[in-house]
């Protein structure tokens, strides 16, 4: 069984690492924050001193980091993964980053005989905990096949979308759909509530029809309870939409609705709520309409 390094034990990475331990994998873990490292070590992992040292002790290294610059730093910088990697090692980058950056890092890894796939995920903390994430993969089919057994321990759906970078392109498409769904849900619920209809009853009435969605099922209960604890932070969704807009402009695709939702998220962030769950988008509409969408009792 492969020895796996896992770098990045945040909201998503920590439960993912624990699921690999439950599946019987030997894990060497690292994070700049010592607290989650202690927790994962208590669950059976061993700790590494940095990316280079983790790579030197493992066959496959998984990274789960906030954005493109963090992945470049961990993989390419001094004391990074490539400095400890042996030819034939595989990097599975499960961060959500810009597709062109995935391609850039993979090209530099290939110069040292190191393979890489990009494998961003969707599903948030609950699905990271229960191992039912959707995983979108870009890379060579042979490397995907080699890593498939590991990925299915983390996700319910694991799909090879194309060459390196295709996973992150697919994730950007996913994040556009999620953001626009939450905006539409928020707008509709504020309308119904302001017009005097119980928002719980609106939810019950429409959830089984064409308007029903996974987003509606996940986010409506949070909105009704005023629970905006992350989960998936507004600041991270801003990062994803920024990558989507940048990528779209590079390939010549206008994203008018994405641009509007980006400005809504920026407004919420400026109000000091950037660390809240992206379901908190409803508060933008609540502020405009001077009403809250909450349970009656």
Catalytically active residues, by annotation: 171
Q: How far apart are CA 249 and CA 107, in angstroms?
A: 23
Short-list 177, 282, 297, CA closest to 220: 282
Cβ-based neighbours of 94, under 8 Å, separated by 6 or more:
13, 16, 62, 63, 64, 119, 120, 121, 135, 154
CA gyration radius, the chain: 20
Between CA 94 and CA 105, with CA 100 as vertex, the angle to 5 degrees is: 60
Between CA 15 and CA 22, with CA 21 as vertex, the angle to 5 degrees is: 90
Q: How far apart are CA 65 and CA 96, in angstroms?
A: 8
Q: How far apart are CA 56 and CA 74, in angstroms?
A: 14
Q: How far apart are CA 284 and CA 57, in angstroms?
A: 48
């Amino acid at each position: 069984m492969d020895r796996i390094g896992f770098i990045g034990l945040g909201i998503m990475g920590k439960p993912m690492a624990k699921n690999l331990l439950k599946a019987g994998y030997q894990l060497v873990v690292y994070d700049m924050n010592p607290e989650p490292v202690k927790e994962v070590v208590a669950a059976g992992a061993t700790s590494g001193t940095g990316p280079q040292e983790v790579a030197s002790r493992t066959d496959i290294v998984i990274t789960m980091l906030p954005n493109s610059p963090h992945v470049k730093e961990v993989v390419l910088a001094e004391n990074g993964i490539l400095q400890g990697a042996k030819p034939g090692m595989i990097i599975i980058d499960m961060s959500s980053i810009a597709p062109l950056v995935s391609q850039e890092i993979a090209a530099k890894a290939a110069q040292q005989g190191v393979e890489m796939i990009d494998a961003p995920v969707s599903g948030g903390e609950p699905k990271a905990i229960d191992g039912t994430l959707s995983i979108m993969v870009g890379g060579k089919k042979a490397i995907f096949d080699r890593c498939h057994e590991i990925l299915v321990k983390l996700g319910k759906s694991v799909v090879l979308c194309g060459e390196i970078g295709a996973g992150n392109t697919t994730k950007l498409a996913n994040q556009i759909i999620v953001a626009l769904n939450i905006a539409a849900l928020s707008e509709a619920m504020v309308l119904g509530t302001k017009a005097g209809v119980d928002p719980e009853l609106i939810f019950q009435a429409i959830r089984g029809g064409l308007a029903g969605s996974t987003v509606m099922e996940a986010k409506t209960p949070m909105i009704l309870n005023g629970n905006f604890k992350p989960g998936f932070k507004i600041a991270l969704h801003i990062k994803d939409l920024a990558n989507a807009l940048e990528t779209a402009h590079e390939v010549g695709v206008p994203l008018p609705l994405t641009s509007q939702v980006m400005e809504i998220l920026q407004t919420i962030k400026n109000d000091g709520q950037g660390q809240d769950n992206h379901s908190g988008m409803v508060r933008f509409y609540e502020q405009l309409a001077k009403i809250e969408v909450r349970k009656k009792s």
